[in-house]
Structure 1
Amino acid sequence: MSAHPSPTKRLTLGDLAAARDAGTPIVMVTAYDFPSAQIVEAAGVDVVLVGDSAAMTVLGYDSTVPVTVDEMLMLTRAVRRGLERPLLVGDLPFGSYEASDAEAIATAQRFVKDAGVDLVKIERGGTSVDRARALVSAGIPVVGHVGLTPQTAASLGGYRAQGRRADAALAVIEDALALQDAGCAMLVVEAVPAEVTAALMPLLSIPVIGIGAGAGTDGQVLVFHDLLGIHAGGAARFVRRYADLRGSAIAGVVAYADEVRSGAYPAPEHTYAMAEGEAARLAELLAAR
């Protein structure tokens, strides 16, 4: 897929499968609101994920766990309004799909009907495999997610790479295969050694998007705020910053504050004027009150 394709052609799952078969890398990025959606649309990305990472990047929670379905739907609807070409993936938040197939289907249907997603994403293997199968049977395309799964990071020992030992690597691979067998249309593999990815890829026939999984996947995904350097603090090993928007934004606000305090802003060119003679007339009207 070209870097700046025609914005009029809406991508399909078939396009992603064709890209995988052709060895053309797939570009995925997160977005959480209308302006970020417009930016990634203009940049020509292929897939946009409204990730539950929004919990931390835009809503200020300390993990992905607290974010609600309603909060995710609000953000996803905003992103949908800013997109034309890319496929849109909505993250089902923690606690919204795990309990039963019926719960998973009801939640996913809201994302499809109310927010216009093309696919929904769920995390882990295990019971999530059953949920994935139920969603696919209900006609809802699913993205699986293995390796480091942030919704259950506490049970994995924190935000750390998974599959560094052979037995743990095998568990990641088995989860991935189970999700593919359940009918998932795509898979995200996060924070696993490149050797695990190399062992996994020949076993899969669906597009695989990596994040901290090496260069061997069919595509890559990064968080919008990470790659653009918007938020403060450190970043995961796999993050590359392509801009420093936080630094630029702070500098801009500081310059604005300095000019307000010095009286340099607003200048005459930023100020409206009354029509000729109307200021004098206003003075007369005020004097006659």
Structure 2
Amino acid sequence: MNITKRSLCAFPMRFYSTVKNIAKYNTIQDIRNKYLAGTPLSMCTAHDFITATWVNKANCDLLLVGDSLAMTSLGYDSTITLSLNEFKYHVSSVCRAEGSSMVVVDMPFGTFESDMSKGLKNAIDIMKLHSKVTSVKVEVGLYSTDKYTMKYIEELCSRGIPVMAHIGLTPQKVHSLGGYKVQANKSLLQMQELFETAKQLQKIGCWSILIECVPHKMAQFMTSKLSIPTIGIGAGNGTSGQVLVISDLLGMQGESVPKFVKQTVNMADIATQGLKEYIANVEDRTFPEKGPHTFKVKDELWSEFLSSVNEK
């Protein structure tokens, strides 16, 4: 069979055996390109299809399915209580939202601590939940003490699983930290060890590092010495980007938020007021209003119906 150069042009160029139209969303390289250009990165959490849709419509660079949903969405007292099955349900829901935000997913407490092979399997299972899941995020302590998690992260990276490390205040380790406290601000050793931890995480293959609740000078210094993006939360504006929990950012649970949060709107008040208005409209029978909120039936059909009922 002779195939001329002209006839080849009639077929689209492709590099795979099958072609499927896949919606465009940010990749790690896209994020790195923006980081190299010096443009601040935006990241926000989402816990379901609706919040993920909002994040995507706002064109946020990254979307984090964080285990913080244990408290913000499920009502638990801490992230530690969250089960993997519950978490997977939310990850799948978030990934159904359309948009360009790159999805990063937490490794919840208990998913890797007990056994290395189990931890690797759980990470692979999370990555396989949806094609939009691009990276996992792992909370890690100081390199000098949390040797197991450092090794776990290294194993993930060596297998081609992208890892965003999370240092500083790590909520999953809140008991060992003595509570929700600012980190690396009490001693020279703490500061040195946090900096060394960040360098080690870069060395073993992490593509980015999230820094939570550390002095802004410390976060800015570490960012300047690393060649991978840093995402800050409660770490000042010297990091490569910022992340906030969506319920804090939008005031979905009222005005009580951490010090480092700038609340852009109070959705709890807006929602409560909207519900009060709805209840009042129901009670005074102004809702539903005949016409705008109701459906019609033809008069002759209605008369026929009434006649049939009366005959019976």
Same fold (TM over 0.5): yes
Alpha-carbon distance, 1:276 to partner: 2.3
Q: Write the distance in 2 (CA, Å) between the matches of 1:8 and 1:27.
A: 20
After superposition, the C-alpha distances for 1:76-118 in whole angstroms (9 at most, x for unaligned) are 1111110331210011110001223212211111111123310
Counterpart selection for 2:154 from 130, 133, 142 = 133
Q: Against the structure 1 CA distance between its residues 115 and 68, is the aligned structure 2 distance closer, same or farther, given a 3 Å change threshold?
A: farther
Give the SS at the match of 2:150: helix
Deviation (angstroms), 1:173:
1.6
Alignment partner of 1:172 is 2:187 = no
Unaligned runs of 5+ in 2: 1-21
Aligned match of 2:50? 35
Q: Is the 8 A contact 1:208 1:219 kept in 2?
A: yes
Match of 2:212 in 1: 190
> Are 2:85 and 1:70 aligned?
yes
Structure 1: unaligned runs, 5 residues or longer? 1-6
Q: Bigger shift: 238-247 or 171-180?
A: 171-180
**1:4 aligned partner:** none
Q: Residues 22-171 of structure 1: matches in 2 within 5 Å? A: 22-116=37-131, 117-125=133-141, 126=146, 127-165=148-186, 166-171=188-193
Correspondence for 1:280: 303
User: What secondary structure does 1:118 align onto?
Assistant: strand
Amino acid at match of 1:199: F
Q: What is the root-mean-square deviation in Å for CA atoms of aligned residues? A: 1.5
Distance in 2, matches of 1:8 and 1:96, equals: 30
Alignment check: 8 A CA contact 2:254 2:267 kept: no
- Offset at residue 57 of structure 1 (A): 0.4
Q: Deviations over 1:144-164 (max 9, x none)?
A: 000000111122121121111
Equivalent AA in structure 1 for residue 256 of structure 2: G
Q: CA deviation at 1:167?
A: 1.9
1:149-200 deviation line (CA, Å, top 9, x unaligned):
0111122121121111222222222222222122111110000001211331
Contact 1:32 1:54 in 2 (8 A): yes
| Aligned-pair CA distance for 1:119 | 0.2
CA shift, 1:35, in A, is: 1.1
| 1:232-271 equivalences in 2 (<5 Å) | 232=254, 234-268=256-290, 269-271=292-294
- Select the structure of larger CA radius of gyration: 2
Query: How many Å separate the matches in 1 of 2:289 and 2:214?
Result: 55
Aligned to 1:277, the other structure's residue is in SS state helix
Percent identity, aligned pairs only, is 36
TM-score, normalised with respect to structure 1: 0.94
Provide the rounded CA distance (Å) in 1 between the counterparts of 2:45 and 2:57. 14
Task: Report the count of equivalent residues.
Answer: 283
Runs of at least 4 residues off by over 2 Å = 7-10
SS in 2 for 1:145: strand
Distance 1:17 1:91 in 2: 20
